[in-house]
Amino acid sequence: MTQHPTPAQPTAPSTEHAQDPKLRPPKAGICPDPKIAHGWLHTARFLTTAPQLEHLPPLTVPEVAFVGRSNAGKSTCINTLTQQKRLAFASKTPGRTQSINLFSLGKQGITDAVLADLPGYGYAAVPREAKLRWQRVMGNYLLTRENLRGVVLLIDPRLGLTELDEILLEVIRPRVEEGLKFLVLLTKADKLNHAEAQKALSIARLQSGGGEARLFSALKKKGLDEVAQMLWRWTHEAGAPAATPVPQDEPPALD
Ligand code: GDP
């Protein structure tokens, strides 16, 4: 069982991040070599944790959110993509305060993108009030986060979509139509045979509503190059906001 970080002091809302004069435009274009994308993802470091939406710092750099039900494999996926053992944590403790964790990406201390790890949802033992709270936070985040460039929805294909996955798809569909990047990532693909995997992929393509769908296995390193390159492209395309140095909080203490 993995542990969840103790939330650090809430980061006060600030416009400093957005106004920092030291800007470096991201290199636009395609990412021809997966090694470049992997090297870039490996720079991931803790930026801040926000117990509530209003504690998220306003940022101008592109942000990619990872969402999914508890146990879908989100923490494993983030740790595998960034080649770090304990960057993302999963809390299996019902009712425990869950926060949005941000990780900076970019070489030489320059943040050119941010990963947002959103709380896993759907844990059966979580009280109804906590579930409703999650829905509000997630809905507001997805609808109002201005620098949100893309969303990765992690799904365990053996379980399919949960009710909250369906709600999430509804919420982001209009934003996907407006250009928000969207990837349905079918995790634990090593547990499927070829026919099952292909079937799950076809269904996920339909569900993605104009987004992408891929198979992923942290165990077999399947889909790693493709997803790394996709994230790089999403955040380095022409038109992506300029990179900016972002002050970092201390990583939260582990309990
Ligand atoms: P989270 O709650 O979404 O963050 O899920 P975790 O990353 O903690 O993963 C949940 C469980 O699925 C753990 O027991 C992982 O070891 C397992 N898991 C994650 N990814 C894979 C994978 O690619 N293959 C297999 N077989 N198991 C996986």
pLDDT, position 97: 53
pLDDT, position 98: 73
Q: Output the DSSP codes for 146-198.
A: TTEEEEEEEE-TTT---HHHHHHHHHHHHHHHTT-EEEEEE--GGGS-HHHHH
Cβ 71 under 6 angstroms from ligand 1: yes
Q: At what angle do helices 224-236 and 34-41 cross, to 10 degrees?
A: 80
H or E, element range at 139: helix 128-144
pLDDT, position 179: 93
b/e burial code for range 119-156 (CB count within 10 A of at least 16 → b): bbbbbeebeeebeeebeebbeebbeebebbbbbbbbbb
- The protein residue whose alpha carbon is closest to atom 15 in ligand 1 is 73
From 76, 91, 191, 217, the mutation candidate for ligand 1 (largest count of ligand atoms within 8 A of CB) is: 76
- The protein residue whose alpha carbon is closest to atom 2 in ligand 1 is 71
**Contact in structure between 61 and 20 (CB atoms under 8 Å):** no
pLDDT, position 236: 92
pLDDT, position 243: 53
∠ at Cα 111 (107, 114), nearest 5°?
115
pLDDT, position 143: 92
- The protein residue whose alpha carbon is closest to atom 18 in ligand 1 is 73
Flag residues of the chain having pLDDT under 50.
1-25, 94-95, 254-255
Separation of CA 218 and ligand 1 centre (Å): 8
pLDDT, position 247: 58
Separation of CA 229 and ligand 1 centre (Å): 22
- The protein residue whose alpha carbon is closest to atom 12 in ligand 1 is 73
Walk me through the domains of the chain, giving residue ranges and CATH numbers.
21-245 (3.40.50.300)
Cβ 72 under 6 angstroms from ligand 1: yes
Cβ 147 under 6 angstroms from ligand 1: no
Cβ 219 under 6 angstroms from ligand 1: yes
Cβ 74 under 6 angstroms from ligand 1: yes
Cβ 164 under 6 angstroms from ligand 1: no
Angstrom CA distances, 33 to 30, 40, 167, 218, stand at 9, 11, 36, 20
Cβ 214 under 6 angstroms from ligand 1: no
Separation of CA 107 and ligand 1 centre (Å): 28
pLDDT, position 22: 40
Cβ 73 under 6 angstroms from ligand 1: yes
Cβ 17 under 6 angstroms from ligand 1: no
- The protein residue whose alpha carbon is closest to atom 17 in ligand 1 is 73
**Contact in structure between 88 and 75 (CB atoms under 8 Å):** yes
